[in-house]
Amino acid sequence: MSPPETPLAATPGFWPSIREALAGSRRDFTEGPIGRSLIVLAVPMILEMVMESVFAVVDVFWVSRLGADAVATVGITESMLSILYAVAIGLSMGAAAMVARRIGEKNPEQASLTAVQAIGLGVFLGVPIGVLGGVFAPRLLSLMGGSAQLVETGHLYTRVLLGGSTVILLLFLINAIFRGAGDAAIAMRVLWLANLVNLILDPCLIFGWGPFPALGVTGAAVATTTGRSVGVLFQLFTLARRRGRIVVRANHLQLHPSVMLRLMRLSLSGILQMLVGTTSWLGLIRILSTFGSAVIAGYTIGIRLIVFAILPAFGMSNAAATMVGQSLGAKNPDRAERSVWIASFYNMLFLGAVSLGFIVFAPQLISLFTRDPTIARFGINCLRSVSCGFVFYGYGMVISQAFNGAGDTLTPTLLNLFCFWLWEIPIAYLLSHYTGLGANGVFFSIAIAFSTLAVLSIAIFRRGRWKQIVI
């Protein structure tokens, strides 16, 4: 394992790197100090992820004023969209890896060609999903347990969001193209713009402010889809300009089935990888449901806090993936490996600090969301138990994304399948039902799975087979 560099905040160029990250960088990420390259990539990626989570938060904030059925409509629709998000993120892994490799090879023409194939694939998948989702929206709501009243008032919300599947796929895919190319600041600005539009239109279209019609919960879907559509138009405009690392010209606007097939093959494991992770949480919920609503409520609060707190760690992991892809393209696997160890070390420091904060301040954090002592007790236990695995997960997150960045999406898929289904779920059941831990056993199983993922990822990563992946 390579020794870590000086912590980023202690280097003389830390704050200039932050400014460079926000302004947009023209540096070559295959050369120069690794630490500075990581922060220039990571900062906009972190902010991009925060902006993506804002869509759902803003919708729920305004929709909650319309009543329980409206909020339930948003929740049920988001659960259906989670499958689409898994497909979008899986495709994004493949697109980012291929674009990063071409940029590292100093082959911007092929990078642009790959970008067009990724966009074409997004359209081919998004259009039929959108049509089917729009047509069968009422039926889908009903199948998901929605009451007749909910289906009556909420089916247009679901129809608009599912009908906009192409926009969702393109938003994810094109931002992945920018990240793979090293233009992370552009991806960040795309979501700033999309969120600004959504933020302005949400109350206007829900409540009929000013000249806008009062569409109720449907207005939230129209606002979100409009915001995302504006973001996609900005992405396409940016790709057509001649100032970025990726520039799409008229001669690139042709489909190459062989490249699309390679991209799809590379992305299939990534899609499965995301689905494994998503469905494993459903398995844990099923086990927790046997202990009552208070347990589920405490777990939900705890997990929401955990997911929000580790967003910066996902940003650092994505930065490492870009560094790996570009370094391998530049035929510099040693730089790729060192980037991963440095990013993992910084991630471990960050998540270690978060873990300490959760352990010490768990009661105060949970009290912001509930005054019920039973719910609070389980929320506190969830925060403290799960965060015990954070130090290990700092490494596991980065190395999993490093495999994806190298184009080896199969390895992290198999690791996720083992750690989160074949290992975590059985341990959660055994600890919760046969040790006297009760629901706390489920919380401990998450920390155990995080730690196992890190140990196995490090062992496989050190073998170095990922360096030979050809994409």
Query: In this predicted model, what pLDDT tens digit does every residue of 185-227 receive, in sequence order?
Result: 888 899 989 999 999 999 999 999 989 999 999 999 999 999 9
Question: What pLDDT is attached to residue 12?
Answer: 46
| 348 against 370, higher pLDDT | 348
- Which of 215, 235, 255 marks a domain boundary? 255
Grade residue 445 by pLDDT with cuts at 50, 70 and 90: very high
Given a cut of 70, whether residue 8 has pLDDT beyond it is no
Q: Please, which contacts does 135-142 make with residues 24 or more away whose CB atoms are closer than 8 Å?
A: 137/162, 137/163, 140/80, 141/73, 141/76, 141/77
User: Do residues 241 and 322 both lie within one domain?
Assistant: no
Given a cut of 70, whether residue 366 has pLDDT beyond it is yes
409 domain-assigned: yes
Question: What pLDDT is attached to residue 49?
Answer: 76
Residue range 357-385: mean pLDDT, rounded? 90
Grade residue 429 by pLDDT with cuts at 50, 70 and 90: very high
User: Do residues 297 and 250 both lie within one domain?
Assistant: no
163 domain-assigned: yes
Q: Please, which contacts does 201-204 make with residues 24 or more away whose CB atoms are closer than 8 Å?
A: 201/226, 201/227, 202/58, 202/59, 202/62, 203/62
- Which of 255, 276, 295 marks a domain boundary? 255
User: Do residues 249 and 305 both lie within one domain?
Assistant: no
User: Do residues 193 and 91 both lie within one domain?
Assistant: yes
The number of helix segments (H) and strand segments (E) in the chain equals: 18, 0
276 domain-assigned: no
183 domain-assigned: yes
Grade residue 292 by pLDDT with cuts at 50, 70 and 90: confident
- Which of 238, 255, 272 marks a domain boundary? 255
| 29 against 453, higher pLDDT | 453
Grade residue 363 by pLDDT with cuts at 50, 70 and 90: very high
User: Do residues 247 and 289 both lie within one domain?
Assistant: no
User: Do residues 250 and 290 both lie within one domain?
Assistant: no
Given a cut of 60, whether residue 11 has pLDDT beyond it is no
User: Do residues 70 and 219 both lie within one domain?
Assistant: yes
User: Do residues 250 and 345 both lie within one domain?
Assistant: no
271 domain-assigned: no
Question: What pLDDT is attached to residue 3?
Answer: 45
* pLDDT tens-digit readout, 32-70: 888 888 888 888 888 877 776 676 667 767 887 887 778
Residue range 377-405: mean pLDDT, rounded? 93
Question: What pLDDT is attached to residue 214?
Answer: 93
User: Do residues 33 and 134 both lie within one domain?
Assistant: yes
134 domain-assigned: yes
Question: What pLDDT is attached to residue 57?
Answer: 66
Residue range 224-232: mean pLDDT, rounded? 96
User: Do residues 222 and 288 both lie within one domain?
Assistant: no
Poorest-pLDDT segment among 103-112, 142-151, 420-429, 435-444:
142-151
Domain count along the chain: 2
274 domain-assigned: no
Please report the DSSP string for 158-193 in residue order. Answer: HHHHHHTHHHHHHHHHHHHHHHHHT-HHHHHHHHHH
Proportion of the chain above pLDDT 70, given as a percent: 93
Structure tokens at 220: 């939230």
User: Do residues 296 and 230 both lie within one domain?
Assistant: no
127: containing domain: 8-255
* Separation between Cα atoms, residue 381 and residue 363, nearest integer Å: 9
Given a cut of 60, whether residue 355 has pLDDT beyond it is yes
Residue range 329-350: mean pLDDT, rounded? 94
Residue range 256-277: mean pLDDT, rounded? 87
Mean per-residue pLDDT of the chain: 88
Cα separations (Å) of 351 from 7, 344, 357? 14, 10, 10
269 domain-assigned: no
User: Do residues 101 and 208 both lie within one domain?
Assistant: yes
* Separation between Cα atoms, residue 179 and residue 400, nearest integer Å: 17
Question: What pLDDT is attached to residue 55?
Answer: 66
